Chains A and B, each alone.
Chain A
């Protein structure tokens, strides 16, 4: 592994999160859209989402969306201002903080539900 610094990891996470969200989006569109095949079909698909792996996956997707969104903002600021390049590192730590908070926040909501079994 190349021992790059913040910028390298920011890029890698941005790409991974982007692809992950895209993957999730594709599933999401398919499942939500599937109600045109009728209620039965729709509900069958949605019941599979209740499985624990899916619920935990959702945690990461939420954090990923937040990371990707705010890091996207960081990228835009870098692209259009000199300030952005100069403070990219600090901004990245800000983005990471927000993502972690989002992860914890959704965990607070989701974990009890998993444990509670509904």
Chain B
């Protein structure tokens, strides 16, 4: 047996634009990242292997404030973009409410720590 939901039931749904804003953010940050990351990959492609990124090479390049900013933009945008993308997945696959809460909590903490760590690193050179 079903009792049809009424007009007022349906109207009482909460209102928030958060999902819309995240949706727009994913597209805009994606567009910007597209240039930043493909540029980054292209420029560092010659190195290809992480071991080419020697201490000195990295330090030298990051001495330039423009590169600092470039890298910081990548860092923050891609972490936010990636974190929100991962949130989509968590909300889809982690179905039990309590589990979802702590998985999200741990995940956001890791992202925040990484962000702090990366920022400090970038600007401490």
A–B contact with Cβ pairs below 8 Å: the answer is: yes
Q: Closest chain A residue to B23 by CB distance?
A: A79
Give A68 Cβ to nearest chain B Cβ, in Å: 9
Given contacts A32-B58, A33-B121, contact A76 B31 (CB under 8 A): yes
Please pick, from A31, A33, A43, A106, the residue contacting B48 in the complex, using a CB distance under 8 A: A106
A83 within 8 A of B: no
The stretch of B3-11, B12-20, B77-85, B96-104 in contact with A is B77-85
B45 and A109: CB pair below 8 A?
yes
B contacts with A, residue count (CB < 8 A) = 36
The complex places the Cα of A33 from the Cα of B99 at a distance, in Å, of: 31
Contact with B along A18-39 (1 / 0, CB 8 A): 1101100110011111111001
| Interface of B toward A, CB cutoff 8 Å | 27, 30-31, 33-34, 37-38, 41, 45-46, 48-51, 53-55, 58-59, 75, 78-79, 82-83, 85-86, 89, 110-111, 114, 117-118, 120-122, 124
| Interface of A toward B, CB cutoff 8 Å | 15, 18-19, 21-22, 25-26, 29-36, 39, 42-43, 46-47, 49-50, 54-55, 58, 62, 65-66, 69, 72-73, 75-76, 79, 106, 109-110, 113
